Amino acid sequence: MALRFIGIDPDTDGNNCPSVWVDETDGSIVIQGWELTNPEDLAQVATRSPIPDNEKVVRVPRRMANLLMEACGGTPHDL
């Protein structure tokens, strides 16, 4: 896996920040974020898509949308 760093949360304090990466071998997006642990939120997610043991649900702030667009090959203007 060859990960290319896209960026971190623009409002970060520099510690344990959400970040966005792209796997250059297959184009998949890798996201570091806060693990969602609230049982009610997880139950809501699971109603549409069961969460297997080998997956986690993460949360990233909306202000990172431009980084996600860049990871998908778009530009912030595409939002």
Domain ranges of the chain: 3-72
Give the pLDDT of residue 77.
Answer: 57
Give the pLDDT of residue 43.
Answer: 96
Minimal CA–CA distance to 45: which of 59, 34, 32, 33?
Answer: 59
What is the spatial distance between Cα 19 and Cα 64, in angstroms, rounded to a whole number? Answer: 8
Give the pLDDT of residue 13.
Answer: 77
Give the pLDDT of residue 59.
Answer: 92
Mean pLDDT of residues grouped by 10 in the chain (79 residues)? 89 82 93 94 96 94 90 70
Give the pLDDT of residue 23.
Answer: 94
pTM of the predicted model as reported, rounded to 2 decimal places: 0.78
